[in-house]
Structure 1
Amino acid sequence: MTGAPSTVGLRPDRWWSRPSGARLDGGFWLDTAHLADWPGQVRLYWNQDSGWTITYGTGLRTTEPLGVHTYAAPRHVAAATRALLDRQPSPTGAEHWPLAAAIAAAVRACQKT
C-alpha cells in the first residue's frame, strides 16, 4: 500500500501501522500543501472495523468514509482518495485484489489471540 498514493500524485509524508488494543490500524499523513481546498493535515486512515477514511481539519476531528471495501486493492484506495481530495465522484466498482482474502483471514486470526 505504501507506493499506491504516489501513483495518483499524492505524497505521503509518513505512515504507520500497529495493533491498537484488539484492533489493527494504520495510515498515511498526506502532503496536501499543493491542494488549496485541504489546508492543514490530512490523514488516510484504516482500521479493521471501519475500513478506509479520510480525517482532516483542526485536530483531525472531521472524518469522511472513503467508500471502498475494507480490504480494497491499494490502487483502488489511492484512486478513491484522489477523487475525494479533488471533490470528484469516487471510482465505481471494486478491483479484485488477490491478497484481500488472505489479509482478512490474518486479521481474524489476530483477533482470536
Structure 2
Amino acid sequence: MILFSKYLVPKGYVGITIFPFVVLKHHALKGNRVLVNHEKIHLKQQIELLVILFYVFYGIEFMVRLIKYKNWNMAYKNISFEREAYTNENNLEYLNTRTFWMFFSYI
C-alpha cells in the first residue's frame, strides 16, 4: 500500500518503506515506476527477513558502514539492501524473477 507524507519521509529522501507501507513524499511520485520498484524490493526484503530482522540487520550494517566510510551518504548507498534495490530498480521484472538467495550476492 502506498501512502503519502512529507513528514514521514526523512529530509533528503523521496520515499521510505515501513512494512507494509511504501511512503512517498509527494503524490506525483506514485507515477515514478523506478522509485516504486525500488521500494517494493525493500518490501520483499522485509518480508523475507520477517520484518524485524530486516531492521536489525539494516541498522547494524548502516552503523558499520558509517564507521568505515565516515560519510552518511556513502554508508547508506553501501548497505547491502540498498545496493540490491539500486542495482535492480530499473528492472521492473526483477521481483518476478528474484529468489531469496539472490540477496546474498549483495553482501
* TM-score when normalising by structure 1: 0.29
Q: Normalized per residue, which structure has more strand?
A: 1
Q: Normalized per residue, which structure has more helix?
A: 2
